[in-house]
């Protein structure tokens, strides 16, 4: 009898520990490694710490997102914190949420005062930094883990690992736009009897362009331990793993844990087992109460943040974190002095400013006749502030005070692209290698707007003067005042108020008011031809019978003289293949039929891969006789009308327009 009671007691205690350990220990993630360099730290109770804690709370509350990835910011410069998480692509949202929630707490304990940190688990990674980490590949710091058991035939095994991993990486990097950059693959290992199958996994953060994802995966794959039966390399932007056993879910859905076994109860021993049952039930009930209390506190804390949401319900950021007071802006611009003025557009003036922390900014002071409501202005400013990409000008905040509507942007020092390509005295400052880099950067920025940002955004006013250049001549797309937001199921919109710049407008937009992602593709094609030739499409002097730059490029292409489009200033040092490929790509972008134009995802791929053959372009738009009358539709009759009602939200045309922060 006594041995039976001891057996039951041990059995019940085992069940109690299995049930309670996840609750009391709160460790739903398998820790692997972390890095938090102590070269830069922040003081305790500083603004940066408060922003970091807010960021971690935001990451934790978004852990159940369907694609297993989320990035956001908290605070203003110089205390802005950038953060993201990435869950393994085969795991369920509940497993992802559990890992992110745990990591959000764990990382602040492992890295209590560091301004940058990354932590890896089997289920997810979480990262934050005081520098912009969005859409920027980070191969280091990389962590190498491996199985201590070696293979019998190391040469053949390593060769197979590299081959299969290369295929897996290519599949992950070339995932469909908007999908997870995640792939797994199995391969037969027929040359050994110790195991039959090799399993591989590769993953990148989905905000990376295809080329950067490929580069990152090549780097980490090259650092895999040789000869081991299993291994992985973890970096902030990507990771790879291989094993000789199945370590991921084949159906890409986490397998639910089996229910705990029933507790055996002896009817003849009720008095002795009753205390044990009480010992089980009371801790479980207490744990449930603690969890409910934690959820209630979390909801209460979330309500303290005045979050503005876009039309799709995504959490954007807090209004307070973006708002500047008028006195600060006035002092920064020396009371909007003419000596600080950088330029002006149809809806306001742009000034250079210096904040008290010595940060240089560009201030857009909207005219008072813009007609935009306060709430609409705030919503729009917060939305644009969430566009985080290295090839987009970043909105730092806004001011809404004293009937003033002001937008604060990062300062971009090297002015705009038109300042260089259309000025004969400055064209030589941009050699071909820089121009090719600028073309690629613009393409990646547009791709982000079309497919990789939280909302599909059509810019509608891409032109040389809206491409700003930073200190390293990296391009940054600016001026989202004419942009439109599309829903995921929306492909086209129409307007009877055509806005934009003639010469960059697609024919279907200029003539019928129809716009789509292919409208931006057309503008990009014109921009590419201008960057190559240093000539404006809208101010082209008739050459060889051609009326505009597009028709001239087409004529040269037909005659087999494409390279003659290149500005003679650049012909001493350039890549002929790159120039001809860019001209062909530019002509493909300005095709008459939008369906014949490539998507931005295809364009980025073609710019980064010479193994893909480009289609032969047809006669481009505005060359055919049906398009040469130059007629434009009536303007200003009414506001934009969308062909889909799934996304009624849109950016107002008069709010953020013709901004040139330089």
Q: What is the DSSP string of 477-495?
A: E---TT-EEE-TT---EE-
DSSP 662: -
Partners of 397 in the β-ladder: 408
Task: Report how far residue 477's alpha carbon sits from residue 459's, in angstroms, rounded to the nearest whole number.
Answer: 9
Euclidean distance between CA atoms 163 and 155, whole angstroms: 12
Question: pLDDT by residue (tens digit) across 100-132?
Answer: 999 999 998 888 888 899 999 999 999 999 989
Question: What fold characterizes domain 417-642?
Answer: Transferase(Phosphotransferase); domain 1 (1.10.510)
Half-sphere exposure of 582 (CA within 13 A, CB side): 27
Give CATH for domain 318-410: 3.30.200.20
Q: Which phi and psi (to 5°) does residue 337 adopt? A: -65, 145
Q: How far apart are CA 145 and CA 46, in angstroms?
A: 36
Percent of the chain exceeding pLDDT 70 equals: 71
Least confident of 408-412, 467-471, 625-629: 625-629
Residue bearing the bigger pLDDT, 195 or 403: 403
**Would you state the pLDDT for residue 293?**
64
494 with 639: CB under 8 angstroms? no
CATH fold match for the domains 25-129 and 143-243: yes
Q: What does DSSP say about strands 124-129 and 143-146: parallel, antiparallel, or unpaired?
A: unpaired
Q: CA-CA distance, 69 to 207, in Å (whole number)?
A: 9
Domain ranges of the chain: 25-129, 143-243, 318-410, 417-642
Question: Quick one: which of 486, 515, 480, 390 has its CA closest to 440?
Answer: 390
Look up 461 and say whether it is catalytic.
Answer: yes
- Residue 624's pLDDT is 36
What is d(CA 423, CA 596) in angstroms, rounded to the nearest whole number?
A: 33
pLDDT tens by residue, 170-185 = 999 888 877 899 999 8
Q: Which of 315, 461, 479, 548 is catalytic?
A: 461
Q: What is the mean pLDDT of residues 311-331?
A: 66
pLDDT at 310: 33
Look at residue 236 in the predicted model and tell me its pLDDT.
93
CATH H superfamily, domain 25-129: Gnk2 domain, C-X8-C-X2-C motif (3.30.430.20)
219-232 mean pLDDT: 82
Residue 276 DSSP SS3: helix
Higher pLDDT, 380 or 224: 224
Q: Which residues of 112-142 are buried (b: 16+ CB within 10 A; e: fewer)?
A: ebbbbbbbbbebbbbbbbbeebbbbbbbeeb
Judge whether residue 305 has pLDDT over 60: no
* Helical pair 270-303 and 2-25, crossing angle rounded to 10 deg: 0
The DSSP code for 449 is I
Q: Which residue has the tokens 């943040």?
A: 305
Strands of 284-434 (E only): list them: 307-309, 315-318, 341-345, 348-354, 360-366, 395-401, 404-410
Place 403 in a pLDDT band, splitting at 50, 70 and 90: confident
Report the C-alpha gap between 29 and 104 in whole angstroms. Answer: 11
- Give pLDDT, residue 39: 65
107 and 81 in contact (C-beta within 8 Å)?
no
| Token code pair at residue 547 | 């009326």
pTM over cut 0.75 = no
Task: Name the CATH architecture for the domain at 143-243.
Answer: 2-Layer Sandwich (3.30)
Nearest-10 Cα torsion for 169, 600, 651, 59: 10
Residue 373 has pLDDT above 90, yes or no: no
With residue 198 as reference, give the H or E element that holds it.
Answer: strand 197-204
User: Each residue of 489-546: pLDDT tens digit?
Assistant: 445 555 555 656 777 888 887 777 777 889 999 999 999 999 999 998 877 766 666 7
Q: What is the pLDDT of residue 370?
A: 57
Q: In this structure, are residues 152 and 192 in contact, taking their beta carbons and an 8 Å threshold?
A: yes
């Amino acid at each position: 009898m006594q041995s039976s009671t001891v057996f039951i007691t041990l059995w019940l205690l085992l069940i109690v520990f299995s049930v309670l350990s996840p609750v009391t220990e709160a460790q739903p993630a398998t820790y692997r490694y972390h890095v938090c360099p102590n070269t830069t730290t922040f003081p305790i109770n500083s603004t940066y710490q408060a922003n970091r804690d807010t960021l971690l709370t935001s990451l934790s509350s978004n852990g159940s997102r369907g694609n297993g990835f989320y990035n956001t910011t908290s605070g203003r410069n110089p205390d802005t914190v950038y953060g993201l998480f990435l869950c393994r692509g085969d795991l369920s949202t509940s497993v992802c949420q559990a890992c992110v929630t745990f990591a959000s707490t764990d990382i602040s304990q492992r890295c209590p005062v560091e301004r940058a940190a990354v932590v890896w688990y089997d289920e997810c990674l979480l990262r934050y930094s005081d520098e912009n980490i969005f859409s920027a590949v980070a191969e280091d710091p990389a962590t190498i883990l491996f199985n201590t058991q070696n293979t019998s035939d190391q040469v053949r095994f390593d060769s197979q690992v590299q081959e299969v991993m290369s295929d897996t990486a290519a599949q992950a990097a070339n995932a469909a736009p908007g999908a997870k950059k995640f792939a797994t693959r199995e391969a037969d290992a027929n040359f050994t009897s110790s195991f039959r199958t090799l399993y591989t996994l590769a993953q990148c953060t989905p905000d990376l362009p295809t080329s950067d994802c490929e580069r990152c995966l090549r780097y980490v794959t090259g650092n895999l331990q040789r000869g081991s039966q299993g291994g992985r390399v973890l970096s902030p932007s990507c990771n790879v793993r291989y094993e000789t056993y199945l370590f991921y879910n084949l159906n890409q859905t986490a397998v639910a844990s089996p229910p705990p076994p029933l507790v055996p109860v002896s009817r003849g021993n009720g008095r002795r087992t009753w205390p044990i049952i009480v010992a089980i039930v009371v801790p479980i009930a207490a744990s449930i109460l603690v969890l409910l209390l934690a959820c209630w506190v979390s909801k209460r804390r979330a309500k303290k943040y005045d979050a503005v949401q876009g039309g799709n319900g995504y959490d954007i950021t807090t209004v307070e974190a973006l708002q500047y007071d008028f006195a600060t802006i006035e002092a920064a611009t020396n009371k909007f002095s003419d000596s600080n003025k950088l330029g002006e557009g149809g809806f306001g003036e742009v000034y250079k400013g210096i904040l008290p922390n010595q940060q240089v900014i560009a201030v857009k002071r909207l005219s008072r006749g813009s007609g935009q409501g306060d709430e609409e202005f705030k919503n729009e400013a917060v939305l644009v502030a969430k566009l985080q990409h290295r090839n987009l000008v970043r909105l730092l905040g806004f001011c809404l005070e004293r009937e003033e509507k002001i937008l604060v942007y990062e300062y971009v020092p090297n002015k705009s692209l038109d300042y260089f390509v259309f000025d004969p005295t400055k064209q030589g400052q941009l050699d071909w290698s820089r121009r090719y880099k600028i073309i690629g950067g613009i393409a990646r920025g547009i791709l982000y707007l079309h497919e990789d940002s939280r909302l599909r955004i059509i810019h509608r006013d891409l032109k040389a003067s809206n491409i700003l250049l930073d200190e390293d001549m990296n391009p940054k797309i600016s001026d989202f005042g004419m942009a439109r937001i599309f829903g995921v199921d929306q492909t086209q919109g129409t307007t009877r108020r055509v806005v934009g710049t003639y010469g960059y407008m697609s024919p279907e937009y200029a003539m019928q008011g129809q716009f789509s992602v292919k409208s931006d593709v057309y503008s990009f094609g014109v921009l590419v031809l201008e960057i190559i030739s240093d000539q404006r499409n809208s101010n082209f002097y008739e050459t060889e019978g051609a009326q505009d730059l597009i028709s001239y490029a087409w004529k040269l292409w037909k005659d087999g003289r494409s390279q003659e489009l290149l500005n003679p200033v650049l012909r001493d040092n350039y890549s002929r293949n790159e120039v001809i490929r860019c001209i062909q790509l530019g002509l493909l972008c300005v095709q008459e039929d939008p369906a014949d134009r490539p998507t931005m995802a295809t364009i980025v791929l073609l710019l980064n891969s010479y193994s893909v053959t480009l289609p032969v372009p047809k006669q481009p738009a505005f060359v055919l006789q049906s398009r040469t009358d130059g007629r434009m539709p009536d303007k200003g009759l009414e506001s934009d009308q969308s062909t889909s009602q799934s996304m009624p939200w849109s950016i107002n045309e008069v709010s953020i327009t013709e901004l040139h922060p330089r």
